[in-house]
């Protein structure tokens, strides 16, 4: 209680101080906006000169707002959404993103210093020592690759410097007891060699109480170290070598069970909720009965251990007025996860996941000088990757499933103790691309940008699954029939079924036959055309048309063929295509204000989706079509030398124009018969918006840096974020709709005007909104016991930080 009262007093005090100095600062004075430089079109250009809808956050803003990773960007950048789930990561721009399947490449391409990071879980990695982050909206196929159909994150790290400098930043959070240490040192080694060494460490106790294990979750520990050496090999030839290693680990999840309803299934459990069935019928921990949203959960424990390694070499040659740059990189990413995926404190089953991804890539890019009538960027790209995925659905000896199965089919439950469904999947891929963008200026104030990317990609994939014991050994003769239980109860096909006679053959025909393998080759051309008009010295207008593709692949996580004719047909999914039309403008009002705007219409075909099979698995498919249209506006105003107002807003209208293969949430009657057997299996979501899409989002920021006395400066920053309601589940369950909400962040700091040090109080989510980020049906609750329930991921509430930074 003392800690809470102390936090409240600090918040009230900082609000009063901030209000007083804000009122004082709004007085007539010479004001000028700092220029924001971006590299969204390969060259370093001012944001106002770049004909793309984008948001750019410089290093200072990232520090001031306490942004730690990509997920935090969504409260400062409208039309960008990211959330972690139990087994995957969702990343969306303009409502377009990739579903839950480890085989998916991302619709939002992430680039760090020109290197592509294609795995969704890599975006969970913490930020360290950045120069800026750019969020580019809409297809970015030419300069950011074949898969950037929704947009791109372009992240630029801080580079070695000519002068010796560095910083140390320490942050401590009072409410949930978290601390972060970060620092960097940079400078010359010799006249021709410069270096930069950066590091970060974070330790967090969590904000959800796990009643079953009596601990706070999710507990986070991550560290990251980056070393860079820049060498002048000649006066016009530089080499930059970078090595980065790190871990980001999580113990526990921010999941709660909500929305339970009594079982509708006939029999002894009729009228009982799932938690009552677990606790009363099977003697599970009474903590499972906590099924209201109250910051407490019931679970036997989860973890996610992630390791990342990247080595890169960038060579830059100034060949006359031309710049020739090559970037070659090796990266390895792997993780080991345990998901208590029944999402309760009962012992039911565990889902274990392991993934390893290795990639080599190399790009050669030529950038011409800017001539009077034209300039260009052109290049070649190559990438090869090996992707190995494993998971296991494990049933321990004390699982409540064993007596539950025996109650329905005596003796069948005795076949599955200490067994698991062990899956292996692989994809090997190669990409070859050539790209170019030519900017033609046929007359004064008119520029025509013509670009395209030609890509050829080849992939080979395999998947298999077998029922084995917990030591990955073949089943004993006593458990030889266990695969039949997995097939009947969980809808899981396996290689074992081939040896189980007519019953095994029946399940193979129903669920599909393993192993499966596939190969695909795709050659795609992605064009991008922009017409840019410098209407005045202060107004740039543009219109663009672009088409982008995201490659198809192979379904890693399906347990069965669902509605496909065979498992081989279900294994492979096709690429998706986006065609985007956009008009926009960049307006500068003197040196004190600027307004940027864009209106877009995107037509999507064959959108890749992940469909829950109603039991334990997810199947990949392609939704037929979707249309998205909207408007985005942002602006800045330097009210005085000391006070700046900025804001951004986005309106998005997303509609599936043909989506007849959606998974129904438990309790909704299927209305689509895709197999032609006169039995509906799926639900028609044509006309619906996509998951996690808000119709309106907006951010308003007040930024004050005010001199107070003897060369010191008081800083006060407030960020107000608002979003309208959205569907938090991919099945459009009305129980999982997040209502509109607003959050307020605030920072009050003091330090010398020369920036030598800074001490600040940072309050995040002052309105204490713990909002629904993602949810779905509780596995097995409905399919096995006829009792509806939902799992839900909730965000963190109010946090209060103290930050101290020293620069040298």
CA distance 606 to 185: 48
DSSP 766: T
How high is the pLDDT of residue 2? 42
pLDDT of amino acid 607: 83
> Chain centroid to CA 628: how far?
20
Mean pLDDT in the chain? Answer: 91
Residue given tokens 């998951």 in the structure block: 691
Sheet of 790-794, strand order: 255-258, 790-794, 772-777
Burial 57-77 (b: 16+ CB within 10 A, else e): bbbebbbbbbbbbbbbbbbbb
Label residue 231 left, alpha or beta by phi (over 0 means left) and psi (-120 to 50 means alpha).
Answer: beta
- Find the helix or strand (DSSP H, E) in which 264 lies: none
User: pLDDT band for position 15 (50/70/90)?
Assistant: very low
**Residue 520 contacts residue 458 (beta carbons within 8 Å):** yes
Angle at 405 between CA 733 and CA 470, to 5 degrees: 95
Chain length of the chain: 808
Q: What is the pTM of this model?
A: 0.91
Beta strands in 235-372 (DSSP E): 237-251, 255-258, 296-297, 303-319, 322-339, 350-367
What is the pLDDT at residue 165?
A: 96
- C-alpha span between 448 and 7 (Å, rounded): 55
- To the nearest 10°, report the CA torsion of 391, 396, 401, 402: 130
Mean pLDDT of 563-573: 89
* Greater pLDDT, 784 or 499: 499
**Cα Rg of the chain, angstroms:** 27
Could you give the CA distance from residue 474 to residue 495 in angstroms, rounded to a whole number? 12
Average pLDDT over residues 363-386: 96
Please identify which residue in the block is written with the tokens 């971006």. 38
What are the tens digits of pLDDT across the range 327-350?
A: 999 999 999 999 998 899 999 989
**pLDDT > 50? residue 565:** yes
| Cβ–Cβ < 8 Å for 237, 317 | yes
Q: Which two tokens stand for residue 808?
A: 């040298």
SS3 21: helix
Q: For residues 403 and 269, what is the distance between their CA atoms, to the nearest angstrom?
A: 14
**Highest-confidence segment of 357-366, 407-416, 671-680:** 357-366
Q: Report domain extents, the chain.
A: 2-807
Mean pLDDT to the nearest integer, 44-64 = 90
CB atoms within 10 A of CB 316: 17
Contact 232, 750 (CB under 8 A): no
How far, in whole angstroms, is CA 741 from its chain's centroid? 21
- What is the mean pLDDT of the segment spanning 43-54? 89
Q: What is the DSSP letter of 709?
A: S
Fold assignment, 2-807: Maltoporin; Chain A (2.40.170)
Q: Are 722 and 714 in contact (CB under 8 A)?
A: no
Residues 6 or more apart whose Cβ sits within 8 Å of residue 432: 381, 382, 455, 456, 457
CA 464 to chain centroid: 28
CA nearest neighbour of 127 among 200, 54, 205, 65: 200
Q: Which residue has the higher pLDDT, 265 or 88?
A: 265
Instruction: Retrieve residue 114's tokens.
Output: 């020109």
> Coil, strand or helix: which one is 600?
strand
Confidence tier at 123 by pLDDT (50, 70, 90): confident
| Tokens 């947009």 belong to residue | 151
Ranges 91-100, 111-120, 352-361, 613-622, most confident = 352-361
Contact 152, 144 (CB under 8 A): yes
- Which of 12-26, 464-478, 675-689 has the largest mean confidence? 464-478
Residue 198 has pLDDT above 60, yes or no: yes
Which 3 state secondary structure label does DSSP give 689? coil
In whole angstroms, what is the distance from residue 354 CA to residue 344 CA? 22
- Whether 202 and 179 have beta carbons less than 8 Å apart is answered as yes
Specify the DSSP element, H or E, that contains 5: helix 2-25
Tell whether omega for the bond before 218 is within 30 degrees of 0, i.e. cis. Answer: yes
Distances (CA, A) of 629 to 188, 601, 652, 793: 50, 4, 6, 28
512 φ/ψ sector (left φ>0, alpha ψ -120 to 50, else beta): left
**Nearest in space to 392 (alpha carbons), one of 461, 468, 301, 493:** 468
Confidence grade of residue 635 (pLDDT, cut at 50, 70, 90): very high
Residue 90, CA distances (Å) to 93, 98, 120, 741 in order: 10, 6, 7, 20
- Highest-confidence segment of 141-150, 304-313, 673-682: 304-313
Residues 204, 206: Cα–Cα separation, whole Å = 6
Q: What CA–CA distance (Å, rounded) separates 21 from 737?
A: 40
Vertex 789: Cα angle to 784 and 790 (nearest 5): 120
Torsion angle, CA of 405/406/407/408, rounded to 10 degrees? 60
Task: Give the model confidence (pLDDT) of 286-313 as tens digits.
Answer: 999 999 999 999 999 999 999 999 999 9
Supply the pLDDT for residue 30: 59
As to burial, measured by CB atoms within 10 angstroms (0-12 exposed, 13-18 middle, 19+ buried), residue 625 is middle
Give residue-wise pLDDT tens across range 752-766: 998 899 999 999 999
Tell me, what DSSP letter sits at residue 556? S
pLDDT, mean of residues 361-366: 96
Alpha carbons 55 and 147: distance in angstroms, whole number: 20
């Amino acid at each position: 209680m003392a800690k809470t009262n102390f936090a409240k007093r600090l918040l009230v005090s900082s609000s009063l101080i901030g209000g007083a100095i804000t009122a004082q600062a709004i007085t007539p004075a010479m004001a000028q906006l700092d220029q924001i430089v971006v590299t969204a079109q390969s060259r370093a250009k001012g944001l106002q000169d770049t004909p793309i809808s984008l948001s750019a956050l410089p290093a200072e803003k990232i520090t001031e707002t306490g942004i730690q990773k990509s997920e935090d960007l969504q409260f400062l950048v409208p039309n960008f959404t990211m959330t972690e789930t139990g087994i995957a990561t969702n990343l969306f721009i303009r409502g377009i993103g990739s579903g839950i399947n480890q085989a998916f490449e991302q619709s939002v391409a992430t680039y760090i210093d020109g290197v592509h990071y294609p795995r969704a879980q890599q975006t969970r990695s913490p930020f360290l020592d950045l120069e800026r982050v750019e969020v580019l909206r809409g297809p970015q196929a030419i300069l950011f690759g074949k898969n950037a159909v929704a947009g791109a994150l372009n992240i630029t790290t801080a580079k070695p410097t000519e002068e010796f400098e560095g910083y140390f930043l320490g942050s401590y959070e009072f409410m949930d007891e978290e601390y972060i240490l970060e620092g960097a040192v940079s400078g010359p080694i010799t006249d021709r060699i410069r270096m930069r060494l950066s590091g970060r460490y974070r330790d967090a106790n969590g904000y959800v109480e796990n009643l079953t294990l009596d601990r706070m979750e999710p507990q986070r520990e991550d560290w990251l170290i980056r070393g860079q050496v820049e060498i002048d090999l000649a006066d016009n030839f530089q080499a930059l070598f970078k090595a980065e290693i790190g871990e980001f680990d999580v113990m526990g999840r921010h999941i709660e069970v909500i929305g339970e309803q009594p079982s509708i299934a006939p029999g002894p459990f009729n009228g009982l909720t799932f938690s009552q069935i677990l606790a009363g019928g099977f003697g599970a921990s009474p903590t499972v009965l906590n099924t209201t949203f109250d910051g407490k959960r019931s679970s036997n424990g989860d973890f996610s251990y992630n390791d990342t390694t990247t080595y890169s070499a960038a060579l830059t040659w100034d060949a006359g007025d031309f710049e020739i740059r090559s970037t070659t990189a090796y990266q390895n990413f792997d993780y080991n996860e345990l998901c208590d995926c029944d999402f309760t404190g009962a012992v039911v089953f565990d889902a274990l996941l392991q993934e390893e991804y290795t990639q080599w890539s190399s790009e050669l890019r030529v950038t011409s000088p800017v001539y009077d009538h034209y300039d260009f960027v052109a290049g070649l790209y190559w990438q090869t990757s090996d992707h190995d995925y494993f998971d296991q659905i494990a049933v321990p000896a004390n699982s409540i499933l064993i007596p539950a199965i025996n109650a329905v089919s005596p003796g069948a439950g005795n076949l599955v103790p200490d067994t698991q469904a062990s899956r292996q999947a692989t994809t090997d891929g190669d990409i070859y691309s050539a790209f170019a963008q030519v900017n033609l200026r046929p007359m004064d104030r008119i520029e025509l940008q013509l670009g395209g990317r030609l890509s050829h990609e080849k992939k080979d994939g395999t998947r298999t699954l077998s029922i084995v014991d917990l030591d990955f050994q073949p089943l004993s003769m006593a458990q030889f029939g266990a695969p039949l239980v997995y097939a009947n109860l969980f809808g899981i096909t396996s290689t074992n079924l081939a040896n189980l006679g007519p019953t095994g053959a029946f399940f193979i025909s129903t669920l599909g036959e393993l192993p499966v393998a596939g190969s695909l080759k795709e050659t795609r051309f992605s064009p991008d055309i922009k017409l840019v008009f410098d209407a005045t010295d202060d107004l740039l207008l543009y219109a663009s048309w672009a088409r982008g593709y995201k490659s198809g692949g192979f379904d890693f996580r399906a347990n069965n063929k669902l509605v496909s004719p065979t498992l081989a047909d279900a294994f492979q999914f096709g690429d998706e295509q986006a065609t985007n039309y956009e008009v926009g403008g960049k307006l500068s009002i003197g040196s004190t204000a600027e307004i940027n705007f864009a209106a877009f219409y995107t037509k999507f075909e064959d959108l890749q989706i992940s469909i829950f099979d109603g039991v334990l698995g997810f199947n990949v498919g392609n939704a037929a079509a979707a249309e998205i249209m909207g408007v985005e506006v942002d602006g800045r105003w330097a009210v005085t030398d000391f006070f700046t107002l900025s804001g951004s807003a986005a309106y998005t209208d997303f509609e599936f124009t043909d989506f007849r293969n959606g998974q129904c949430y438990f309790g909704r009657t299927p209305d689509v018969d895709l197999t032609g057997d006169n039995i509906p299996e799926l639900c028609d979501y044509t006309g619906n918006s996509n998951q996690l899409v808000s119709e309106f989002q907006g951010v308003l920021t007040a930024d004050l840096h005010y001199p107070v006395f003897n060369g010191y400066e008081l800083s006060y920053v407030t960020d107000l974020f608002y979003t309208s309601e959205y569907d938090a589940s991919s099945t459009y369950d009305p129980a999982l709709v997040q209502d509109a909400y607003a959050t307020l962040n605030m920072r009050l700091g003091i330090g010398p005007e020369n920036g030598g040090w800074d001490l600040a109080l940072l309050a995040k989510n002052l309105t204490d909104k713990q909002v629904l980020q993602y949810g779905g049906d509780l596995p097995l609750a409905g399919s096995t016991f006829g009792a509806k329930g939902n799992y839900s991921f909730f965000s963190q509430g109010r946090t209060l930080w103290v930050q101290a930074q020293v620069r040298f």
